[in-house]
């Protein structure tokens, strides 16, 4: 988790294909260099042919997008997801590398694939986002193509997508209305702040109503309901109009980033700590339940019931003399003999001389028998 030391703010740029996301990255990089605050740049789009900026870490150096397509027989989107999966296995090394530069940089900017679903909804995208968010204060910059959102239905679709990303990542978000040099974003800002203005735009929209202004029914009602639902979502957002072409609005964007970093430390970091702690407690509880189930399956009981289980450890004692067998002590009673009737024949100091005499007599008798047998054998041989 975060420590008390200052960590660089990470800006993850996400946007639909054609929203000007990569151009936005290039302009943001140039803007920070102009402010004598060069960022650390990451490119996570494996399919891009050329970037208008020089990334410090490029996924294309680790994964060859075209070879992934050929070797795994994948299409464009599948190859992007697979490339991100391969790259995410080394994300810990990326985090360590970025962290080692923390004393020299104030911002980390990350470019993501234009196929937004390949990053946001994939497991690898979640791993990469979570890895950065658990180490650095992280902000999501959602890039919107302003000229394409003049229709209320298109605008609503884009805002719903932004809402889903916010609740998926659980990170502070800035909505960037790009390409304001082509179309000013005043209408979009007004729609987000004034519900009646959006209602009026829906009434004047020919896609939702007929030529005479009459409502088409279901579609108009649906958009109207969603706009009411998104009011709470709008209140949690910072909206910044800017132009990646002219550089207009980037000072305001960096001010919004600073605000969101403070919000991250105040709310999101505490929430993430709570979620991680809750996961840790659930994992601990799961292990305890698994252990209890294992003990039950092995018929191991707790407390007094432990005496009923035939487990080796139940018969061990602290004073087991390291496994040595205790010898019988003299006061434990008389020893038992195999032949009690021959008790007096036990060897002692008094019977030693008599026993030696018996051995000697037995040896002499044996020697005499052997000599006589040998003599008899020789005699028989001579006769023959």
User: Under a CB-based contact definition with an 8 Å cutoff, are residues 241 and 177 in contact?
Assistant: yes
332 pLDDT above the threshold of 80: no
Q: Is 13 helix (H, G, I), strand (E, B) or coil?
A: strand
More confident residue, 310 or 201: 201
Closest CA to 268 of 106, 119, 96, 134: 134
Kindly tell me the burial class for residue 116, based on how many C-beta atoms sit within 10 Å of its own C-beta (0-12, 13-18, 19 or more): buried
334 pLDDT above the threshold of 60: no
244 pLDDT above the threshold of 80: yes
Give the percent of the chain with pLDDT over 70: 73
117 falls in which pLDDT band (50, 70, 90)? confident
| Lowest-confidence segment of 70-79, 324-333, 345-354 by average pLDDT | 324-333
CA distance 91 to 131: 7
More confident residue, 207 or 248: 248
300 falls in which pLDDT band (50, 70, 90)? low
| Lowest-confidence segment of 62-66, 164-168, 177-181, 370-374 by average pLDDT | 370-374
pLDDT at 230: 78
Per-residue pLDDT reduced to its tens digit, 138-191? 999 999 999 999 988 889 889 889 989 988 888 999 999 999 999 999 999 998
Query: Mean pLDDT in the chain?
Result: 79
More confident residue, 257 or 306: 257
Q: Is 127 helix (H, G, I), strand (E, B) or coil?
A: helix
Give the percent of the chain with pLDDT over 90: 40
Question: Taking each helix axis from N to C terminus, what angle separates 76-88 and 65-72, rounded to the nearest 10 degrees?
Answer: 110
What pTM was estimated for this model as a whole? 0.69
382 pLDDT above the threshold of 80: no
Domain ranges of the chain: 9-209+221-259
313 falls in which pLDDT band (50, 70, 90)? very low
Mean per-residue pLDDT, 368-380: 59
Per-residue pLDDT reduced to its tens digit, 279-289? 888 888 888 88
CA distance 195 to 216: 20
pLDDT at 237: 83
Mean per-residue pLDDT, 104-116: 91
pLDDT at 38: 93
202 falls in which pLDDT band (50, 70, 90)? confident
- Cα-based angle 105, 28, 165 (whole degrees, multiple of 5): 95
Name the most confidently modeled range: 57-66, 231-240, 370-379. 57-66
Mean per-residue pLDDT, 274-303: 78
As given in the structure block, the two tokens for residue 179 are 């390409």
Per-residue pLDDT reduced to its tens digit, 8-46? 999 999 999 889 999 999 999 999 999 999 999 999 999
Residues sharing a CB contact under 8 Å with residue 112, sequence separation 6 or more, in sequence order? 12, 13, 14, 21, 44, 45, 119, 125
- Per CATH, the number for 9-209+221-259 is 3.40.50.300
As given in the structure block, the two tokens for residue 157 are 């679709």
pLDDT at 339: 43
376 falls in which pLDDT band (50, 70, 90)? low
E strand intervals along 19-83: 40-43, 57-58
């Amino acid at each position: 988790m975060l420590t008390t030391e200052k960590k660089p703010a990470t800006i993850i740029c996400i946007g639909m294909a054609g929203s000007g996301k990569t151009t936005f990255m290039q302009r943001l990089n140039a803007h920070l260099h102009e402010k004598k605050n060069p960022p650390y740049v990451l490119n996570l789009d494996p399919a891009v042919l050329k970037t208008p900026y020089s990334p410090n870490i490029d996924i294309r150096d680790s994964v060859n997008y075209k070879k992934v397509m050929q070797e795994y027989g994948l299409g464009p989107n599948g190859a992007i997801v697979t490339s991100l999966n391969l790259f995410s296995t080394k994300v810990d090394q990326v985090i360590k590398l970025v962290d080692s530069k923390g004393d020299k940089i104030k911002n980390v900017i990350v470019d993501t694939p234009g196929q937004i679903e390949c990053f946001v909804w994939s497991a690898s995208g979640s791993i990469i986002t979570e890895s950065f968010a658990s180490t650095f204060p992280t902000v999501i910059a959602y890039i919107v193509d302003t000229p394409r959102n003049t229709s209320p239905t298109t605008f609503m679709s884009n805002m719903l997508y932004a809402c889903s990303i916010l609740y998926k990542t659980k990170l502070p978000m800035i909505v960037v209305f790009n390409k304001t040099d082509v179309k000013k974003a005043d209408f979009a800002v007004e729609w987000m702040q004034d519900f009646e203005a959006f209602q009026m735009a829906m009434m004047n929209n020919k896609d939702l109503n007929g030529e005479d202004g009459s409502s088409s029914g279901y579609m108009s009602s649906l958009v109207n309901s969603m706009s009411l639902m998104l009011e709470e979502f709008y209140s949690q957002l910072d909206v910044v109009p800017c132009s990646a072409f002219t550089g207009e609005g980037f000072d305001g964007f960096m001010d919004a980033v600073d605000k969101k970093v403070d919000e991250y430390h105040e709310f999101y970091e505490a929430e993430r700590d709570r979620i991680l702690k809750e996961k840790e407690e659930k994992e601990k509880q799961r292990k305890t339940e698994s252990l209890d189930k294992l003990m039950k399956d092995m018929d191991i009981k707790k407390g007094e019931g432990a005496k009923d289980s035939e487990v080796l450890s139940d018969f061990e004692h602290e004073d087991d003399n390291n496994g040595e067998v205790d010898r019988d002590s003299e006061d434990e009673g008389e020893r038992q003999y195999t032949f009690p009737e021959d008790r007096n024949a036990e060897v002692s100091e008094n019977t030693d001389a008599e026993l030696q005499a018996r051995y000697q007599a037995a040896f002499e008798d044996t020697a005499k028998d052997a000599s006589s047998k040998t003599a008899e054998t020789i005699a028989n041989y001579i006769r023959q």
